[in-house]
Chain A
Amino acid sequence: MANSTTEKTRVVQAQPASVMAVIAPAVGWLIPGAGHMIQRRWIRGLLLFMSISTLFVLGLAMQGRIYKANGGDILDILGFVGDVGAGGLYIVTLAMDWGQGAIAFATADYGTKFIIVAGLLNFIAVADAYHIAIGKKR
C-alpha cells in the first residue's frame, strides 16, 4: 500500500489550550516576534521583530499617519485596526504623539500604508506564534 502521508499533507494534531497558548500571542502582539522568541524560535522571532519594526519605523519616518480609535469613515476604522496590530509600537507612538502625518510629503501616504501593513503582518505573526504554542506547527 502506498504511503500517502507526505510532508505537505501531514496533519498535526493540535494540543489542548495551555498557558503558552495565551501568553505567546499576547506577548507577540505587544512586541513583534517575542511570541516566537519565548518559545525558543530565536531566529524566526528576531527576523519577525526586525521586519515588522523596520516597516513601522520607516512608515513613521516617511511622515505616515497613525489612526486613532474612531467611529467615522470605514477606511479610518480599518486603518485603526491595522495600526493597532503593531501592539507596543502603536502604544509608544501614541504616547509620544508621533505619526501626525504630513500632507506636504508625497510619500506620506506610503508611510501610512507601511504602518498599517506592519500591524497586519504582526497579526499574522501572532497567529503563527499561537499555532506553535498549540503544537500545530513546529
Chain B
Amino acid sequence: MTEIQQQSVCGGVNFRSIKDSRFKTVRMSVNFMQPLSEATAAPNAVLPYLLTRTSRRYPDLTKLNGHLAELYGAQLDAYVFKLGDVQVLSIFASGIADKYSLGGEKVSEELSKLLCSVIFDPLFENGMFPKDGFEQERRQLMEKIDAEYNDKRTYAFLRCAGIMCKGEPYGIPRCGTKKDIENLRLENLNKVWSSLIHNAKAEIMVVGDCDPVPVYDEFSAAFHNLGRAEAQDYTNKVVKAAADVKNITEKQNVTQSKLVLGFRTGCAEPDVNVPAAKLMNVLFGGSPNSKLFLNVREKLSLCYYCSSLYDPLKGIIFVQSGVETKNIKSAQTEILKQLDEVKKGNFTDEELNAAKLSICNSYRTIADSPDGLEGWYLSKTFSDPAEDPEEEAEKVRAVTREEVIKAAGKMTLDTVYALEGSGAENK
C-alpha cells in the first residue's frame, strides 16, 4: 500500500517519500530550485550534468556508467526545467527494487550513496571541476538547444513563450541561450555549485518500492554537514491580462507552418479558481472531445493537431497547431471563435462532464507512475504541497458551468506566433 511521508531535513530542504510496492523500481531525486535569471540560467543548468558525470568516488565516467550497468542498468542523470519563474535542477537516480536483483545487490542503498557522492563530493582537479568534463557537458548542453530547434513543434512553442514573457523570468530559456552556454567559464562553476548546495531550496523525492529511512539518513547527514543557513526564497510573477496583442511571424524552410497562440488567463496557483481554469482548458482544447479538436481538426480538416495547454503556475494557456501556410489565418480565426463559444457558455452539460471525467482520469493515473508522482508533488511546491491528485480531482468535479464561463471570460490574447514555411515539398 501507499505510504506518503514528508519531513523537513533542514532550512529550505524538504524530504518526501512515497513507498509503494506497486512499483518494481525506486526513483530518488534531489531538486534544487533557483530563481530564473539571465545571468545564472546557463551556469546553473550545466552544473547538474557536470555533477552526474563523475564524483571523487567515481572519477571516471565510463567506470561510473559500468557501475550503474552492474546495478541492472540503473540510471543516474540530470534534468533542468522550469516551474513558473523558478529553474529546477533535478539530479536523479533510478533502478530496480532490491527484491528483483538476481545477485542480491542492494540497489536502493547504493543509489542514495551515489546521489550524495555526486552532489556533495564532486571531483576537483586543481580546485576546479575537471576541464575535459566541463568542455563535454558545455558542448552537449549547446547540442540540446540545437535539438529543440530541430523539433519544429517544440521550437515554435518555446519561441511563443519567449516572446510572450520577454522581461519575465519565465521568458528565459530553461538552460539559458546557446550564447550564454558558449560563454560559460569553468573557474566560476565552483562558486555556483557551492551556492547551490548551501543556499538553494531543495526538494528530495523518493518514490517506489524501498525503505525511505536509510535514504533520509544519508541525505540528512549530507545536508547537515554543510551547516546551511535559511534558503533563499523566490517569487513567481503572474501577469493578469495582456495589454495588447503581439503578432510575430518568422520564416523557415519547412513544409508545414506552426501557429502558437499565448493567452493570459489571470488565474494561477494558488488562486482558488485554478480548478475552473483547468476544466475550461480541457473543454476548450485539452482532449479529443474539445472544441478545438472537434472543430479546427475534425470539422474543418485544417490540421492534424490543434490543442491547448494550461500552465497553472503562470496562468498561461498556449494553443498549438500545425497548418498549411495559406490556412494560418483561418485556423487562428476558428480558434478564437471556439474560445468565444466557451465564453458565451455555448457548450453542453455532456461536454462539461466529459472534460471533468477526462481530467479526473488523468489525475488518478498519476499514482501509477513514479515519474508522475514526482512531477505532481514538485509542481505543488507553490500551492499546497500536501494535496494529492485525488483531492485536486475532487475540486475539479465541483466546478460549475458558471465558473467555467467566468474563467474563459478572463482570457486575453497576448501573443500570436507563426513559424511560416516556404510551402515547398521536401520529398
Judge: A and B partners, yes or no. Answer: no
